[in-house]
Amino acid sequence: MIVLDNVTKRYPGSQDVLSNASLQIEQGEMVYVTGHSGAGKSTLLKLIAAIERPSNGTVLINQQNVSKLRESALPYIRRKFGLVFQDHKLLYDRSCFHNVALPLAINGITGADAAKRIRAALDKVGLLHKEKMMPITLSGGEQQRLAIARAVVSRPSILIADEPTGHLDQTYADDILSLFSAFQQVGVTVIIATHDALTTAKQPHKVLHLNQGRLSMPEVSV
Amino acid sequence: MNRWLNSHLQTLKQVIARWRQHLFSNLLISLTIAVTLALPVIVYLVLTSFSHLTSTIQSDSHISVFLSSSATPTTIDSIHNILTTKEMIAQFHFVPKAEALKQLMMDSNNSNIISTLPENPLPDAFFIEPKSLASEAIEQLKNELAQLDGVEAVQVDDAWLKRLSYLLTLGQKALLVLASLLGFALFMVIGNTIRMQILTQQEEIEVSQLIGATHRFIRRPFLYAGAIYGFVGALFALIISTAVIALFNLSISALATAYQSDFSLRLPSLEVTLITCLTAIGIGLFSAYFAVAKSLFKSIQ
Ligand SMILES: Nc1ncnc2c1ncn2[C@@H]1O[C@H](COP(=O)(O)OP(=O)(O)OP(=O)(O)O)[C@@H](O)[C@H]1O
Ligand SMILES: [Mg+2]
């Protein structure tokens, strides 16, 4: 369970990017974070993923208070999440296979065991035949899917994706969204930041709408 | 445990693969490290060879034992007997005072002066050639002899030996300074190299941290890299110093034959090899640790 209580976030020298945000996300929920560019979507996701600490208020991940954790404990919290970054953050000095291997290596999984899981993850996003290619040779959409493969390979209990369908055409976007739904159906919490979620989502979901750092939760009918 | 070992092996493989990718520049760096290491190793080898020399070389250095003027023939006999039992003594001979005076009189200049003296001023004396010239053993022998009844004074003629050993002590101090300075240089060279590597891997480090890598995980490959630079550098350094010493020995052997000595400089022993490798690996680890600590963890917060 993820709880934000009255969370405010300021970056050094900036105004409040997020002000007094409170929310609660249960395990296994599907959540969309919407809002205009600069509304604070990425910031909210980074707070949840323990990448940024709140300036005020508390962030609880499975009862652990992220704001109070020691620096050395943060990596272990972060491993609960599978992250798809808005700018992918793929590593261009190694093959697709080795990009997906990174989270497993961090978790101490290597060798044949890792290879099996890496291929399964690549297969899920339809990139198995490109495992030896370098990411720079992939199209924008393929790079996005590679980022998703890297996020899911360590079987996280919470999946966070920052605009994962931004570069995709409608068919692929639908594919990706149904992939996320499949994860949600097996109990994974899925949190997606997006511009256009309301038009494409077919599953029941919760919406967190941000407007200049202020959070609202409009009712959603499916 | 297995998993832990496995991930270490994986890191090692990855680091070695990276090493081989930039084989040429890595070899150049290792050579720089090797030259830095070889200098103190060579100085050390030369110094130990000479300090070994001071304890084995036979020379005309000897110990003179002067007896008191009141020494009776029986005391002289008993001293003679004690000297024959001493392990440390290679050989000795006795010079009675009359004999000594006779030798002195052979010089005509002296004879004039001496003939004016009312009695023989010279003491009886033993002249001893010790087996070993190790200064501690000689010092001990000297003290033992001085304790004997009828012995007035014991004099050790080892001035040149003392001078050599002072020089060697000075050399050892200089070696210490040299080794510290070059150790620091090594620390900087390896540290800078690791910092360059960190720069080229900044993205990987950042992403790894974002998805839950611990500091230890990120540090690990760089520690391995530092240790490998140290190790390879040490191996090259040992090769270089062996070659240099062998070259020295070529000219020394000619010189030594002329002096009828089999003196030669020592090649690196197993001990020297181990210490050189371990020191270099230690410095590599240490400087890599610092390089990582200073260059990392800027990406978040
Ligand atoms: N590291 C940072 N330092 C300073 N300001 C930042 C930082 N990250 C974000 N901001 C600011 O916070 C605000 C919200 O940024 P954020 O990235 O959360 O927006 P977003 O909703 O994800 O926008 P987009 O849809 O364009 O990705 C922006 O005005 C941005 O300039
Ligand atoms: Mg964003």
ipTM of the complex as predicted: 0.90
**B27 contacts: CB under 8 Å, gap ≥ 6:** none
How would you class B24 by CB atoms within 10 Å of its CB: exposed for 0-12, middle for 13-18, buried for 19 or more? exposed
Tell me what pLDDT residue A199 has.
Answer: 55
How confident is the model over B14-57, as pLDDT tens digits? 889 888 888 999 999 999 999 999 999 999 999 888 877 665 55
Nearest ligand by distance to the CA of A162: 2
- Chain B closest-CA separation from residue A173 CA (Å): 24
pLDDT tens digits for range A134-168 = 999 998 888 989 999 999 999 999 999 998 887 67
Q: Which CATH number fits domain B63-157: 3.30.70.3040, 3.40.50.2300, 3.40.50.970, 3.20.20.190?
A: 3.30.70.3040
Does the C-beta of A39 come closer than 6 Å to ligand 1?
yes
Q: How far apart are CA B219 and CA B256, in angstroms?
A: 53
In this prediction, residues B278-286 reach a mean pLDDT of 96
Chain A, nearest residue to B207 by Cα: A89
Closest Cα of chain A to B26: distance in Å?
A: 19
* Contact A35 CB / ligand 1 (< 6 Å): yes
**pLDDT surpassing 80 at residue A217:** no
Interchain contact, A78 vs B204, CB within 8 Å: no
Mean pLDDT of B280-288: 95
pLDDT band at B83 (very low <50, low <70, confident <90, very high): confident
A·B CB contacts under 8 A: 57
**Would the pLDDT of B59 be above 60?**
no
Q: Which atom of ligand 1 is nearest to the CA of A193?
A: 22
Q: Round to whole Å and give the CA distance between A98 and A91.
A: 9
**Which ranges in chain B are annotated with CATH 3.30.70.3040?**
63-157
What is the C-alpha separation between B243 and B254, in angstroms, rounded?
Answer: 18
In angstroms, the separation between the Cα of residue B23 and the nearest Cα of chain A is 18
* Distance of alpha carbon A118 from alpha carbon A38, whole angstroms: 34
Q: What are A9-61's pLDDT values in tens digits?
A: 999 888 889 999 899 999 999 999 988 888 999 999 999 999 998 999 999 99
Average pLDDT, chain B: 84
- pTM of whole model > 0.80? no
- Asked if the model's pLDDT at residue A221 lies above 60, the reply is no
pLDDT digits (tens, 9 = 90+) for B177-203: 999 999 999 999 999 999 998 988 888
